[in-house]
A = this chain, B = another copy of it.
């Protein structure tokens, strides 16, 4: 716990807002460490957030997420002053051994002062992605990023979570990965605002595009709802990346114009507040000085002397 960080929060925030990458990094570390200073950090950031467009990028392993993010950052940087990238690795909640080898590809932007790149694990966070990522997004937003990209591997719930954190969600596919049925199973048809079929120079790209289009067309949409476009890209050569950036811009404009942006941001804030409250409660419930602490109640449930609902009642009764 970095309690000593507290006195320097105002200074860190001021430096981050002036474009000091070291201060930005330090603030994100406070998020990762769940520092007690975070409360003060978020209070200081409050009036400076809300400017950044938050773009979630997800896709199965092997579709070319890092390369696509890399190419997209380059395309976005021609139009905006500052881009932040949070690369989330939700794979292992147990160990710090995130395999971030593909991060080295992002080294293209290592010398661009207009690009912040940060890898984050969701390990160790009681509230997972829902707790730490929005706070890291706030740091990058307040630091003047016009776009904040949250990139995560599209497996299980993490892709749904990333969609919940973003203003716009880009879903990446690639040909020949059995996308069809897998796409339907993984629920990606319901989270994408923009789709890219990457590796579009490979066999089967057109078929993947056709299948995706067909499945998207079957989804029921309200009148005036956004129709997710499908863009063909080859991230390694940059082909189609400008089109992709344009579609993302178009979605951002639609979000503002339709009122959907405010709805999405309120929903995001709801999850964020809930995650912070839950984390506080979990800590409270574990305190051994309680009459009914969670551990002893769990022991009684396991032993069969109390049922889980009655145990939850006891937990909540003590507050």
Residues of A near any B CB (own CB < 8 A): 38-39, 42-43, 45-47, 49-50, 61, 90-95, 97, 99, 128, 134-135, 153, 155-158, 160, 181-182, 184-187, 190, 262, 265-270, 272-274, 276-278, 280-282, 285, 294-295, 297-299, 301-302, 304, 306-312, 315-316, 319
**Considering the complex of A and B, which 8 residue pairs feature the smallest CB-CB distances, nearest first?**
A156-B156, A270-B298, A269-B301, A92-B187, A276-B312, A155-B156, A269-B298, A277-B312
What are 23 contact pairs spanning A and B, CB under 8 A?
A42-B308, A43-B307, A43-B310, A46-B304, A49-B304, A61-B182, A90-B156, A92-B186, A92-B187, A93-B157, A94-B187, A95-B187, A155-B155, A265-B302, A267-B298, A269-B299, A270-B294, A273-B294, A274-B282, A274-B285, A277-B316, A278-B281, A319-B319
Instruction: Summarize A's interface: helix, strand, loop or mixed.
Output: helix
Tell me which of B90, B160, B298, B304 contacts A50 (CB under 8 A). B304
Picked from B47, B270, B278, B309, the residue with its CB within 8 Å of the CB of A276 is B309
**Other than the known A38-B309, A42-B308, A90-B157, what 13 A-B pairs have Cβ atoms closer than 8 Å?**
A42-B307, A45-B307, A61-B185, A92-B185, A92-B187, A94-B187, A266-B298, A267-B298, A269-B311, A270-B295, A273-B294, A273-B312, A277-B316
The reply to whether B298 and A181 form a contact with Cβ atoms under 8 Å apart is: no
Please indicate the chain B residues that have their CB under 8 angstroms from the CB of A304 in the complex.
46-47, 49-50
